[in-house]
Amino acid sequence: MRNNVWKIHFLAWTNGIVVLLILAWMLFAFRTNRIFTKYVSEAQVFVDTISGNVPENRTNSSVLELKALVADLGIDWENNVDPDSDVSISQQGGVLWQNAYSQIANYVHYVYASNPEGYGSRENPDRVADLFFPEIEDRSEAQSYIVLNRETLSNIRDLTSESQETDSRMFDANLDYTNRRTINTLVNVVMFEILYSLYRQESDSQDLTMANLQLIGQLYADIDTQSSRLVSFQMYSDLDRTLVQFIRNLDDLPDDWDDRLPFLKLDRQALFLESLKLDVARYIYSLDNPNTEESSNNALERFLFAVRKPYLSWIAMDVWKTRNRIDDRLQNTDFCTVDPETLKTYNNPDLQLSGWNPYGDTTIVSWLEMGELELQWELTEKVQQVKAVARKQEKFPDTIPGIETSMCEESRWNYQVNADGTATVSLENIPPALKLSRRDVSWTYTIALPSSTVN
């Protein structure tokens, strides 16, 4: 009898505790939802403001034509923009692409990377521009692929040029990861055609180089306009870092090359902060969207989401508040002169996520690396400036007026002609905040005379 009484008491207490926990959680969820509503409103205003500057989500004829041309190259455009499309890859085209892909990717990587050891390693100050071509003869599949597909690549250039003239977007705002990966692959093919033409010293190599860079620029502009606002920023920055080194190594670019590539004028740091804030805003909106809970047909998954939603809401609110504080701080920060100690989070508790928040935040360091990328583009422009003068004078001049100026007033670019006939451009007074960068780069570049000046 006593055992039965004990069991009854135990069940009563257990049920009571469970009921209390459920009631507490319901109260917690109710109060969370009331607070969360304010953040949803703020996020929605921000999303609406940004979305107002983005073209309407509509797949146009240009992207469908591009998809067909990419299929002609043997490249699979995953997550088709038009599920009803009958575009398909021929078996021969697919085989040619599979055989050539690794050779193309490796060759392009070798050229644009700082040295043969791989992307992201320290630049070699002694590396000169006339050594940057590895042998291309060993890459027979890649060569055959480019020769067979030159007409298709020309058609892609024409298509994107027409799109640029009519100011139409090549992609809608729903550009997703797999689409962007396909575009990145296409960019590799285009860069390989540039290198192939230069290596073979074809008579129209300069015109082809600029036409292909403008093609990349148009693809890039579309990706930038949308990925900095409505998609991940990762594709944007990866392509940026590829191009900054790739273009730096090219010879014989026309004098107005930078004017013909408008993406060079982007405010990368501002776009980066905007993209991060938008990511959080969209996440907040998705938590508040009733369709989120109905996205799964699994009742258990819907129940678990409902249980987790208050906690996820607090995480989102914490990230939103912290990112706003970081954004306010960085908007009033001079990248060139800021003391890195003043940006470290342990010196700025208000710039840290709450201790209970499991997510880390690298916003400040990533923002600094966007500034670093701006300076890398400045180095590329200085290198191309030296090459342009050397082509005209058929030698490196003793001085180049104006080359010393930098986006950072306290920094300056030094130019000198070396005893071995090369020239060097280096940055003096590197911004101190770059000590926090996760990337190990050099600010010195040694240049050989452009090939067109060598008899």
In whole angstroms, give the CA distance from residue 63 to residue 61: 6
Task: Report yes or no: 130 and 448 within 8 Å, Cβ to Cβ.
Answer: yes
Using CA atoms, how far residue 359 sits from 13, 199, 312, in Å, is 37, 48, 11
Q: Is 34 buried (19+), middle (13-18) or exposed (0-12) by CB count in 10 A?
A: exposed
* Phi, psi angles (nearest 5°) of residue 445: -140, 130
Q: What is the pLDDT of residue 5?
A: 62
- Residue 197 in tokens: 């033409």
The string of DSSP letters for 341-368 reads GGG-GGG-GGGSPPTT------HHHHHH
Higher pLDDT residue, 294 or 289? 289
Residues 46 and 64 in one domain: no
Residues 386 and 452 in one domain: yes
List pLDDT tens digits, range 39-83.
888 888 887 776 665 555 445 566 677 778 888 888 876 544 444
Q: What is the pLDDT of residue 285?
A: 79
Higher pLDDT residue, 1 or 406? 406
Structural domain including 437 reads 333-455
The string of DSSP letters for 124-181 reads -TT--GGG-----TT-HHHHHHHHHTHHHHHHHHHHHHHHHHTT--SS-TT--HHHHH
Neighbours of 61 (CB within 10 A): 10
Residues 94 and 215 in one domain: yes
List pLDDT tens digits, range 421-439.
899 999 999 999 888 887 7
Q: In what order do the strands lie in the sheet with 444-447?
A: 412-417, 423-428, 444-447
Q: What is the dihedral of CA 345, 346, 351, 352, to 10 degrees?
A: 100
* Residue 43: CA count within 13 A, CB half-sphere: 27
Residues 312 and 293 in one domain: yes
Using CA atoms, how far residue 322 sits from 22, 254, 347, 350, 421, in Å, is 31, 46, 15, 7, 53
Alpha helix ranges (H) inside 204-298: 205-227, 234-249, 268-288
DSSP state of 452: G
Using CA atoms, how far residue 6 sits from 16, 20, 56, 178, 406, in Å, is 15, 21, 67, 61, 81
Residues 37 and 152 in one domain: no
At 49, the amino acid letter reads T
Residues 429 and 368 in one domain: yes
- The answer to whether position 261 is within a domain reads yes
Residues 109 and 86 in one domain: yes
Higher pLDDT residue, 316 or 233? 316
Where is the domain boundary, 221, 241, 266? 266
Is it the case that residue 384 has pLDDT exceeding 80?
yes
Q: What is the pLDDT of residue 85?
A: 53
- The answer to whether position 169 is within a domain reads yes
Residues 312 and 358 in one domain: no
The fraction of the chain above a pLDDT of 90, given in percent, is 11
Mean pLDDT of 353-357: 83
- Mean pLDDT over the full length of the chain: 75
- The answer to whether position 430 is within a domain reads yes
Mean pLDDT of 15-38: 77
- The answer to whether position 271 is within a domain reads no
Q: How many domains does the chain have?
A: 3
Mean pLDDT of 433-451: 81
Q: What is the pLDDT of residue 415?
A: 96
Q: What is the pLDDT of residue 88?
A: 66
